[in-house]
Amino acid sequence: MTDYIEKALEGDYKDFIKSLIKIVGNEIDKKKIPLRDAADLIIRDAFYDMRGDKSSLDKLMLSANEVLVPPCQDDMELENRTVDKVIEDIRSNELYMSQKTRTLPRPERT
């Protein structure tokens, strides 16, 4: 069982997003690729794995629909909204850190 499936089975969409943010951040640093590319790569892989374990995807969908407005209709919509959410959160954090440290945001993370 992969880490994505284990995290999804915990049933907390917000924690799932936090774990993806860490993984995407590491991917950006390791492969020196842009944020959107890293997020697409990681999240598409995560959802591919979860589609092989229906219970993890169902549990994640239930948890996500408790916090998302409007709720997702299917797993493709959830996948796309998850990509957008991870990118948005990383960009927001980078902007906050750049303002706090009075430095320019790292271009690959925005």
**pLDDT of 22-70, one tens digit each?**
999 999 989 989 999 999 999 999 999 999 999 999 999 999 999 999 9
Does residue 109 form part of some domain?
no
Round the average pLDDT of the chain to a whole number and report it: 92
CB–CB of 2/70 below 8 Å?
A: no
pLDDT higher than threshold 60 for residue 103: yes
Which among 54, 53, 47 has a CA at the least distance from the CA of 16? 47
For residue 106, what pLDDT band results from cuts at 50, 70 and 90? confident
- Return the C-alpha torsion angle 109, 96, 77, 5, nearest 10: 80
Length of the chain: 110
Range of the domain at 25: 3-103
Does residue 79 form part of some domain?
yes
Does residue 92 form part of some domain?
yes
For residue 2, what pLDDT band results from cuts at 50, 70 and 90? low
Does residue 43 form part of some domain?
yes
The H or E element spanning position 95 is helix 75-101
Contacting residues for 100 by C-beta, under 8 A, at least 6 apart: none
Does residue 108 form part of some domain?
no
The H or E element spanning position 67 is helix 54-67
Which among 67, 53, 38 has a CA at the least distance from the CA of 8? 53
Number of domains in the chain: 1
Does residue 82 form part of some domain?
yes
